[in-house]
A = this chain, B = another copy of it.
Amino acid sequence: VTELPRGFSAASAAAGLKPSGAPDVGLLVSDRPANAVGVFTANRVQAAPVAVSRRHLRTGRARAIVVNAGNANACTGSQGIADARATAATAARALGATEKEVLVASTGVIGRYLDMPKLRAGVETAASALGRDAEPLARAMMTTDTRPKLAMAEVGDTRIVGIIKGAGMIAPEMATMLCFVATDAAVTRGVMADALRTAAAGSFNAISVDGCMSTNDCVLLLANGAAGSEEITADHPAAAAFSQALAEVCSSLAHQVVADGEGATKVVAIRVQGASNEREAARAARTIADSVLLRCALGGADPNWGRVLAALGVSGIPFDPNVVDVWMGGEKVAERGAPGPGDLVKAALGLKERDLDIVVDMARGGASATVYTNDLTAEYVRINGEYTT
């Protein structure tokens, strides 16, 4: 049980969109209009619920989020937009809100039209079963996730609760990440937007599971002020604490996503230091994290530093390979671009741990960045190759 912040309730329903019959529709509801902000996928192809939620967010306020798994409502044209709006309208009617006060999110198969009678019935069922526990909602969002993922933080009298799904996909969907964060603090939209941008940069944008970006990714933050505390404005003393707490919640959720990645057996922190600037460091770390070859090697606990350097070599960064050091499993496996003094047997043992570090020092500056990924296993391929047309 993870109790939601004051004024929030949630529920789930099994609408029959998932072939398994598991809960596949969820609602997150605020008993009063909440300030709302969001960040969305940068994919050029954006699902209908992304387009509709973006539009609804222009009002700056939301009463509810309705989510479904089992169908992404992506690549569904104008019918998809109409269906996403109808979903919001159904929830709005059931909750006594307006259509624009309801945000929508979907995950699942791309390119199929929603079964609206089923979805509508599911939304109505969920709306009549609202409770204080966030977990049913977290479960309804799951696709290939193996467990519900939640995080919580407290700031003074207020609480922040976040739930997330991903990076798993239900065939044939991409590694969609949906994240909803609710707080009973009163916060201005400006503070919320800044805090969410910062939190996302250090969490969701610092993980890489397969280098693929979904058509449906979204992170939504709702603040309803139900705790009754003073509104946090940009110059309010609590603004920094709120941002910090939000960042911690998002960071925890992002790590849970990597740890629960499809087929993953380990979480790997790729830390690049000695870069010219942070942007370069992040780019280097991400290029290494996206290497399919390296991620295979990590599954096999192979201290394969050549793949680290070779991946870095296609990052577009004009670094000098002959000054780069690499540590794997705690051993300095490469020094100045050549074999280092580290013990490869010890490094291999270190790579058998569930949490690993790979450290790369580019020796060109003082900036650093860390990107989290996981290992690529045969299980990932199995999950993503199976499909029943």
**Residues of A in contact with B (beta carbons under 8 Å apart):** 42-46, 72, 74-77, 79-80, 109-113, 169, 171-175, 210-215, 291-293, 296-297, 299-300, 302-307, 309-315, 317-319, 321-322, 333-334, 336-339, 344-345, 347-348, 376-378, 380-382, 384-387, 389
Contacts and interface: CB of A to CB of B under 8 A. Distances in A.
A293 B43 contact: no
A328 to B, nearest CB: 11
Nearest to A109: B306
Given A45-B312, A306-B110, A306-B172, A299 B385 contact: yes
A46 B296 CA distance: 22
B385 A210 contact: no
**Number of copies of this chain in the oligomer?**
2
Nearest to A80: B338
A334 B313 CA distance: 37
Contact of A44 (B173, B317, B380): B317
A44 B309 CA distance: 9
6 contacts: A173-B306, A213-B313, A297-B384, A297-B387, A302-B387, A377-B385
A348 B385 CA distance: 12
Contact of A304 (B293, B309, B387): B387
Nearest to A316: B44
A109 B306 CA distance: 8
For the complex of A and B, the 10 pairs showing the least CB-CB separation, nearest first, are A110-B306, A300-B385, A172-B304, A296-B384, A45-B313, A77-B338, A302-B387, A378-B378, A43-B313, A44-B313
Contacts of A80: 338
A276 B336 CA distance: 44
Contacts of A337: 45, 75, 77
Given A210-B293, A293-B175, A389-B345, A44 B318 contact: yes
A172 to B, nearest CB: 3
Most chain B Cβ neighbours within 10 Å, of A42, A172, A302, A312: A172
Contacts of A305: 75, 110-111
Given A110-B310, A212-B310, A306-B172, A297 B385 contact: yes
Nearest to A76: B338
B212 A302 contact: no
A314 B44 contact: yes
Contacts of A311: 212
A81 to B, nearest CB: 11
A319 B46 CA distance: 12
Contacts of A210: 292-293
Nearest to A111: B306
A307 B384 CA distance: 11
A383 to B, nearest CB: 8
A386 B268 CA distance: 18
Nearest to A44: B313
A72 B306 CA distance: 10
A304 B44 contact: no
A315 to B, nearest CB: 8
Given A111-B334, A174-B293, A45 B302 contact: no
